[in-house]
Amino acid sequence: MTATSVSRLRLAEPEEGAGLAAFLERLLRWEKSAAVRVQAAGGVVGVFAKPARFEVLALRTARLREPVETDVTVSAGELLERIDEERGGVSLPDEVTGPAWAGVLPPDSGWTKFAEVPADAVRSVAVAAVGEFKERAEKLGEKERTRQALDALAEEIWSRPLGRTGFPLRAVHAGHALGLLQGGESVSLLRARGWLRLSSAHGSVVLRDTAEAGTGLGLSVTPV
């Protein structure tokens, strides 16, 4: 992508700004100092993030009023403050030194869909798993409820597959927690060059495919 200097993005509709703001608010709950990589290509902007503790990358997309190209890494908190939901605009803050993950993104092509699941069903699985974690954590005695024990419990639950798809629940959990799973829609599960991707109309959650590790650059902001 050939990036140009852009200070403001004009969103197609005010609700695009509201959706982006909600995504950033959820992200900042886990990490107040989070940084995001903002890529705009044509009529779509994508905001990439790595939510703390989820071990995945997340992408929230929004439609633009006019084509523009830019690629910057900025503070998630400052970006949130600069979203004008009423006018449907986003003023980009100054660039920051990006974290390591922002320099290596999944591939922008070659994705193959291997499953499609109703978002309601995926969200129900995530909610049930969260409930299981809380219930089992509460049953641990005070001396047993250590960070190590809780991390092990989380790893056990979130490493499980989504039904027969083989897709790990940690990505489903992240998609639900970040508001990417909306009712009445379908969620696509895709695979490409050592990566797995959960894709909805609102964005994606991407993680390494441990069965086929690989390296790629530049996840497209255009929904598959």
> Please, which pLDDT band fits residue 214 given cuts at 50, 70 and 90?
very low
**Least-confidence region, from 128-142, 143-157, 199-213:** 199-213
Rounded Cα distance, 39 and 69, in Å: 7
Is pLDDT at 9 greater than 90 in this prediction? yes
Is pLDDT at 207 greater than 60 in this prediction? yes
pLDDT digits (tens, 9 = 90+) for 149-175: 998 998 999 889 998 888 889 999 999
pLDDT digits (tens, 9 = 90+) for 60-96: 999 999 989 999 999 999 999 999 988 888 999 999 9
- Could you give all domains of the chain from N- to C-terminal order, each with its CATH number? 8-103 (3.10.150), 115-185 (no CATH)
